Amino acid sequence: METTTHNPKSGPKPHNGQINVRSYPFNEENEYHLDMKIPWIKDLLKELEQDQMIDEDHAVSGSIEVKLSIQKKNTNTLKDHFILHGSVKAHYPCSCVKCLELTHESLENEFSCCFIDYELGNSPKFENSTYIDHGLDELELYTYDNGVINLKELIHENIYMVANPLPLHHIECKGLCPSCGVNLNLENCSHRPLKN
């Protein structure tokens, strides 16, 4: 896919992480390729980096890329609904949880979901459903409210589903000595034997 942020023949642009899909034509693919030039996408990366960095005000230095395809459909059961297929890829700096050395993590996730109207989603028929069968796919069920889909929330969720909560700069990182704080990858100390 080329690097345009939006396919001009398709529907409206997302704004602040939300997209108004009410006016989408039926059964047409609306494709989006979102990157760091978009402030709310950059915010997602910033959050990922800040989770593990000591410096709260650093400029982002990783990368993030999100691709989405959204299609409006209508059936008797689901009424007006939206099928969304998406992917997110990110690469970002973070600190090793054991020795605090700077390291990098990558993540990648793909997701498919179905957005139905908020009222319908909270009706007895769907209130306990988290997935629905749609053709051959099993899609995660979400709701749109007033014709608006919250993309930022969706992408956020799919980032944290796969983000490594305990990054290590090296699989055999020895960490810091709990008594004197020396970096045991670099030096030894008298507090415990340097093994393995």
What is the rounded CA–CA span in Å between residue 75 and residue 172? 54
Minimal CA–CA distance to 15: which of 4, 6, 2? 6
User: What is the SS3 assignment for 137?
Assistant: strand
- Binding to Zn ion by residue 184, rule CB under 5 A? no
User: What is the SS3 assignment for 158?
Assistant: helix
**Residue 161 or 182 having the CB closest to Zn ion:** 182
What is the rounded CA–CA span in Å between residue 186 and residue 64? 33
| Burial category of 19 from C-beta neighbours within 10 Å (exposed 0-12, middle 13-18, buried 19 and up) | buried
Residues contacting residue 160 through CB under 8 Å, at least 6 positions apart: none
Size of the site for Zn ion (CB under 5 A): 11
**Residue 139 or 173 having the CB closest to Zn ion:** 173
Contact range with Zn ion by CB under 5 A, out of 43-51, 94-102, 120-128, 136-144? 94-102
Contact with Zn ion (CB under 5 A) among 31, 169, 176, 183:
169
Contact with Zn ion (CB under 5 A) among 138, 179, 188, 194:
179
- Binding to Zn ion by residue 96, rule CB under 5 A? yes
Contact with Zn ion (CB under 5 A) among 10, 156, 177, 183:
177
Pattern 43-72, Zn ion, x by CB under 5 A: ------------------------------
What is the rounded CA–CA span in Å between residue 7 and residue 105? 30
Contact with Zn ion (CB under 5 A) among 98, 107, 154, 158:
98
Site residues (vs Zn ion, CB under 5 A)? 96, 98-99, 101, 169, 173, 177, 179-180, 189, 191
